[in-house]
Amino acid sequence: MIHLLNSRSKNGNFFISLKSILGFAPKQMMFYRRAFTHPSFQKKDSFGQPLNYERLEFLGDAVLGSIVAAYLFEQLPEADEGYLTKMRAKIVSRHTLNEVGKDFDLVRLMTADVHQSQFGENIHGDLFEALVGAIFRDRGYKYCKRFIYKKLITEYVDIERLDGKILSYKSHLIEWCQKEKKNIRFEDEEDTGREEMTYFATRLFIADKLVAKARSTSKKKAEEKAAQRAYYKLKNLINR
């Protein structure tokens, strides 16, 4: 078993670290311990439910979405439903939540039976959502709202900046190519190299011309990364 926070149950390390992140003292620690338990830790509770963060992640995702929706509803009284939905998606995007989770270094609190290299990029956002779920179970909606406003909205949300943020460079590029009547294609191949993990290499062609290359741990990520590189290479042309 791998403990990313050494002896978290000893000397109150887990409690102290958690309190520093939350800004208040947690009451029912069992929710937070579960929120930082990886699925590889294959044990179940007395109800037969796996002892890991996945159910709390589901709950936190719903609570987070409702609080952000209420915030946008109050801040943008003239915005229509479509705009509000778009802005909420940008605020709670995997990219944003991963950034928040990384800044809090949440993975250091986790217990797992696999090495950290196997967690995947989205573990940071998953843990943040699980933490929100744990707060909701421990302290209720009011504390969740306070935490999200202070730790997410105040620090990471700039509506004017987000208004121009691209959620998916691949989708954005495909839409532009369709509008300009240019064919676009991605060529993917497995690229293991010398690493133990499997990687995928992507080449992006527009009008049969190679525009960008990328490499990542999945085809989806590699294509998105290639699309992002292509977007910045063609930015002036796309935005004119």
| Residues with active-site annotation | 61, 129
Note the maximum CA span of the chain. Answer: 64
SS (H, E, C) the chain: CEECCCCCCCCCHHHHHHHHHHCCCCCCHHHHHHHCECCCCCCECCCCCECCCHHHHHHHHHHHHHHHHHHHHHHCCCCCHHHHHHHHHHHCCHHHHHHHHHHCCHHHHCEECCCHHHCCCCHHHHHHHHHHHHHHHHHCHHHHHHHHHHHHHHHHCCHHHHCCCCCCHHHHHHHHHHHCCCCEEEEEEECCCCCCCCCEEEEEEECCEEEEEEEECCHHHHHHHHHHHHHHHCHHHHCC
Q: What angle do CA 210, 214, 217 make, to 5 degrees?
A: 145
> Based on C-alpha coordinates, what's the Rg of the chain?
21
- Between 94-103 and 123-139, two packed helices, what is the crossing angle to 10 degrees? 80
44 in Cβ contact with 51 (< 8 Å):
yes
